[in-house]
Amino acid sequence: MLDRFRVQDQVAVVTGSGQGIGRAIAWALADAGAHVAINARRLGDLQETAAGIESRGREALIVAGDIRDFCETLAQRTVARFGRLDIWVNNVGGSDEKDVHTLADTPDATFRAQLELNLTSAFQGCKAAARHMPQGGAIVNITSGAGTRGSPMTGPYAAAKAGLINLTQTLALELAEQGVRVNCVSPGPVLTEAFREVLGVENKLDEVARSIPLGRMGTPDDIAAMVLLLCSPAGAWITGEHHLIAGGRTQRAYQYRSKTD
């Protein structure tokens, strides 16, 4: 059974893999036997991720750049290097916006930018992956619990993630005939630098941890383990599913900073 969790000599792409959850996913796939193409905007971060992949005895391909309108190039370079593509993880997401707004006060340009980063880029990644997975493969989209409920002060992000959950479910049905499985994973509060930045107040971390039934914040490895399951033969009968990995917590128990804080 343990062998079913291996992806020996498969080839994976992980976007947004310069640090945090994306890096943990890339390393988990390498631990399980995959060669990994990694993408982010900062070359230095990617070099650290690549060093971890190579220390696990696997090959890394660094493709630095903004993933928006770049997915087909990333797929082509991956296939050119490794000769195949088996796994694609759309991990890019978040916000370039430093202030938060109610939806009624959100500028149109901000709303469009959030859709482009959190939904359109994943759509493009899924298309690129599907073109290069003619007979089987696995796509995993990193979404958010914000896409399943009202999300004050982060409405554009939540709307984009809600769209990504539906996109996942639709693609799973459309790609099933060619054997490509498509799932999504929503991390709960995972202690990364990005999470610290958006939460804004360090002393809120204990408050957040107390709101989680299992009593602790998540780690990037908690999310990576679920992604590995979905990409491996162990997840061969799972597709079109949304998986919330949050220690039992289903509602947000903290508030992001407002623009007046």
Least Cα distance to 17 among 167, 197, 99, 140 occurs for 140
Query: Rounded to the nearest 10 degrees, how much is the dihedral formed by the CA atoms of 67, 238, 229, 5?
Result: -120
- Closest to 37 (Cα-Cα) out of 55, 70, 12: 12
The answer to whether 254 is a known catalytic residue is no
Answer yes or no: are the C-beta atoms of 49 and 38 closer than 8 Å: yes
- Other CB atoms within 10 Å distance of the CB of residue 35: 21
Which of 157, 162, 167, 228 is the catalytic position? 157
- Measured in degrees and rounded to the nearest 5, phi and psi for residue 52 equal -70, -40
For the chain, the first-to-last Cα distance in angstroms comes to 51
Backbone φ and ψ for 43, nearest 5 degrees, come out as: -65, -40
Q: Which residues belong to the active site?
A: 157
